[in-house]
């Protein structure tokens, strides 16, 4: 490949090179752990929630450029959103925010959406236990 940008958009590569919110979180309010057996990507997403608002999000991902970029993007998108708003974030929205993904890589964005949903479910489950 002579042009590294030809597979991915500049936005994807930017997030790939400088992923936001990488790492584990201390005392998260919700953790999502998902894996895509088709491609082998594994994603962990942590959220911190205060007064129904996601105030912080972090991730750890084993996967390709698209998996890392979508993880980074979804953690950015979710910050400052209410739980209800966050649940509405679709894989499509993540792909659009990244200026698109190659068709074979769209499943990576599905994984990011699932990781977010899984983290929120974990958070909601913990809330139920508290009440």
Q: For other proteins, which is the closer residue by CB, 40 or 80?
A: 40
Tell me, rounded to whole angstroms, the distance of Cα 74 from its chain centroid.
Answer: 4
67: contact with other proteins by CB under 8 A: yes
| DSSP track, 41-90 | EEEEEEEEEETTEEEEEEEEEES-HHHHHHHHHHHHHHTT-BHHHHHT--
Q: Which of 14, 22, 56, 83 binds other proteins (CB under 8 A)?
A: 22
Torsion angles phi and psi, residue 88, rounded to 5: -85, -5
Binding of other proteins by 20 (CB under 8 A): no
Stretch that binds other proteins, among 54-62, 78-86, 90-98, 119-127 (CB under 8 A): 54-62
Q: Least distance (Å) from other proteins to the CB of residue 102?
A: 9
Binder to other proteins among 11, 33, 79, 117 (CB under 8 A)?
Answer: 33
Query: Considering only CA atoms, which of 24, 25, 87, 90 is closest in space to residue 61?
Result: 24
The yes or no reply on residue 19 touching other proteins (CB under 8 A) is yes
62 beta partners: 42
Give the residue numbers marked as catalytic: 39, 108
């Amino acid at each position: 490949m002579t042009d590294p940008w030809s597979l991915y958009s500049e936005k994807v590569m930017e997030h790939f090179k400088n992923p936001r919110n990488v790492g584990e979180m201390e005392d998260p309010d919700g953790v999502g752990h998902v894996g895509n057996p088709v491609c082998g990507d594994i994603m962990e997403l942590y959220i911190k929630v205060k007064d129904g608002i996601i105030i912080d999000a972090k991730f750890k991902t084993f996967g390709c450029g698209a998996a890392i970029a979508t993880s980074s993007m979804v953690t950015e998108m979710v910050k400052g959103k209410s739980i209800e708003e966050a649940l509405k974030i679709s894989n499509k929205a993540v792909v659009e925010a990244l200026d698109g993904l190659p068709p074979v890589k769209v499943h990576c964005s599905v994984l990011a959406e699932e990781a977010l949903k899984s983290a929120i479910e974990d958070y909601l489950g913990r809330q139920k236990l508290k009440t």
